[in-house]
């Protein structure tokens, strides 16, 4: 069954990408009358985008999908590294991205294609 609604955004390969991801996510949710999910969704989108900028390099692509039961946030990149969930180190300011994704989303995972990889998460509607 195809998604009810999907938007794809190409983001820059620089620190502006996380803010743009939050803005696109906020507008997408408001347009679907799902603003109550915005705080968590914006955080998740910016964490996934930041992981691409810091670890994979290249231009991230944000895909937002709404179907009957969930909003999916996917971030694709040209890298082929696998995400690794680790317990956060309380003595550092970084390293909490996937930990937050795991805690805030209903489920998350990743896919690999021949030319890219995508880390995604879902929030139940």
Q: What is the pLDDT of residues 59-92, one digit of tens each?
A: 999 999 999 999 999 999 987 677 766 666 666 5
Kindly tell me if the per-residue pLDDT of 97 is higher than 80. Answer: no
Supply 110's token pair: 């990743």
Does the pLDDT at position 125 exceed 90? yes
Total-model pTM = 0.88
Share of the chain above pLDDT 70, in %: 84
Listed in sequence order, the residues at least 6 apart from 29 whose beta carbon sits closer than 8 Å to its beta carbon are 35, 37, 38, 41, 71
Least confident of 2-11, 23-32, 45-54: 2-11
**Where exactly are the structural domains of the chain?**
5-124
Of 6-15, 53-62, 78-87, 97-106, the range with the lowest mean pLDDT is: 78-87
Instruction: Give the lowest-confidence range in 3-7, 51-55, 78-82, 120-124.
Output: 78-82
CA 102 to chain centre: 12
- Let me know if domain 5-124 sits in CATH 3.30.565.10: yes
- pLDDT at 71 (0 to 100): 97
């Amino acid at each position: 069954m195809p998604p009810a609604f999907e938007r794809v955004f190409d983001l820059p390969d620089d620190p502006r990408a996380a803010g743009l991801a939050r803005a696109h996510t906020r507008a997408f949710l408001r347009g679907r009358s799902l603003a109550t999910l915005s705080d968590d969704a914006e955080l998740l989108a910016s964490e996934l985008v930041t992981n691409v900028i810091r670890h994979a390099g290249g231009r991230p692509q944000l895909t937002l999908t709404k179907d009957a039961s969930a909003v999916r946030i996917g971030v694709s990149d040209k890298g082929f590294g696998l995400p690794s969930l680790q317990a956060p180190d309380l003595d550092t300011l970084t390293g909490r991205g996937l930990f937050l994704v795991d805690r805030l989303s209903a489920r998350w995972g990743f896919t690999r294609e021949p030319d890219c990889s995508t880390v995604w998460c879902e929030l139940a509607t």
